[in-house]
Structure 1
Amino acid sequence: MKNKKNIKYNFRGAVNSGVQMILAIMIVFSGIFLYSCQQEEEIVIAMGEPVSLSVSDSNLVLSQKQAGSNALKISWTRGTNKGTGSSISYTLEIDKVGNDFSNAKIYELGKGVFEKNFSVSELNDLVRDFWGVAPGVPTDFETRVIADVTMEGVEDDTTNVKTFSVTPYKPVSDVLYIVGDASPSGWNIGNATPLAQVTSTPWVFVYQGQLSAGSFKFSVSQDDCWCRDFYTKDPSDDGI
C-alpha cells in the first residue's frame, strides 16, 4: 500500500507540473498577442504633404531679343494620394487676376510632371493671343495646380494661388517687303520684293539689290488692301 501511495503522489506531482507548463505557455502567447495588438495600434499611414506651387519670377518684362530664352517656370510638389496608393494627375491653370479662373488657360499635364516652362516668345504669344493684353501694358496673372488622385471618390487637391505680372511686346514680323517707286516692283504690293531675315537676329532684315530714285516703304504683307503695318524712313535719317 505504501508503494501505491507513492505512485499516486508522484502522478499528482506530474500533473501539477504539466498544468504549470501549459499556463506558462498560455501566458507567453497572451503576451505576444497583446504586443501584436499594441504594434497594430501604432501603425500610421503616411499621407504626405498637400501639393504646393511656386513661380520662378513675379515680374516679367518681355523682350523679343530674348525670345528663345526661358521666361517663367511654374513648379509644384508631388502632393499626396491620401494614403490610397493611387497615382496623381496634374492640371495647370493660368488666368488674369480678377477672373477667378473663369477664363483660364488649362494645361492637362498628366502624371509625373512637376513643372511647366514658358519661353519669352511662348509667354508673349499666350498673354496677347489668349487674353488680348496690349503690348507694353503690365498685366497681373494668377496660377494654380489641381492634383487629381486617380481613384474614384477621392477629393482633388488644389495648390495655393501664385500671382505674377507680365508686360508683353509687339513682335516684329517674320516677313518684310520693300515697295515703292524706288523698289524693283514699284508700287505693286502684290509683287513686292521680300527682304531676307537674319537668322541670328530675327528683328533684322537685309535687302540686296538695286534701288531707283524715289520713295519706298517696308510692308509686312503683300495684301492689296494696304491695311497692314508699314515701316517708312525716319525723316531725320540722312541715309538711304
Structure 2
Amino acid sequence: QYFLKEYLQGAVVSQEKIEEAAELYTHHFGAEFAGGPTNPTAFNRAGWEYILKEHGGKLPISIKAVPEGMTVANKSVLMTVVNTDPKAYWLTNYLETLLVQVWYPMTVCTQSREQKKSIIQYWEKTGCDPSGKPPAGVCFSLHDFGFRGVSSVESAMTGGCAHLVNFIGTDTIAAMQCAAKYYKAGPGSFFDCPAFSIPASEHSTITSWGKEHELDAMRNMLQQYPDGLVACVSDSFDIWNACGEYWGTQLKELIEQRPPPAGRPLGRAGS
C-alpha cells in the first residue's frame, strides 16, 4: 500500500512535471556529450498530456495483487498490472521499476517470519509459552534496530513495517510512522501504537563510566527506571562477570525489589 499511496494514487501527472521531464530527456537522450544535437522527440509528451487531459492526471491502470502478508509458494504471481485505456498501452512498463521495489519489504517479512518460526521452536523446547500475551511472548523476541543498517529512510520505513507483520518490538520510528500513515495502525486499531520499546542502555552509556564503574552504570539504570521493563547492555567488558557477579549477586536485591510482573531488567548482549 505504501508504494501505491505514495507514488501512484490520485492525480500524479501535471503539466509542470511534463515540462520538467521534457527538458530532462531532451538532453538525456541527446548527443551533447559528443558535440551532437539534443533529442527533443525522445520524450513521449503526447502520451503524458493525453493522460493529463483525458484522465485528470490519474494513471489509467489496474493493479491486482495477493493480499499483503499472505504466505504464497515460490513462483506465484504476486501482482498484475493492466492499462485501462488502449491509448495508454505503453504505460504499464513505465511502472515496472517502481513496483518491483516491493521485493525489499517482502524479503524482510519472509526472513522475519522464518526467524519467528525458529524462535517459537526453541521457546517450546525450553518450556516457555510462545503464545504469551504482551508484554511477554514471541511478539517481542526479535527487536528491530535495523534503521542503522539500511540504505535510506524509505528502506527503514518499508522494511521496518514488514518486520511488524511478525513482531511488535521496534526502535525504528520511521516504520511506526509509516504504519500509522499508510496502514492506519495506531489509535483506534488493535493497539494505540503500531509497536513498542523499552528504555535501554547502549555501549557508550556504559563504557563512559569506565570498566571499574560498570556496576555503578548498571545500578544507575535500575534507579533511573524503577518501574517497568528496562534493558542494559552487559557485554561491554565481560558478559559472564556481568551476569554472574553484577546482576546475579551485587544487584540481585535491587532487582528483586522491582514491582512485578513487568519490572524485570533485561541483560542484553549488544555486540
Q: Under a length normalisation based on structure 1, what TM-score does the superposition of the two structures give?
A: 0.23
**Higher strand proportion (structure 1 or 2):** 1
TM-score by length of 2: 0.21
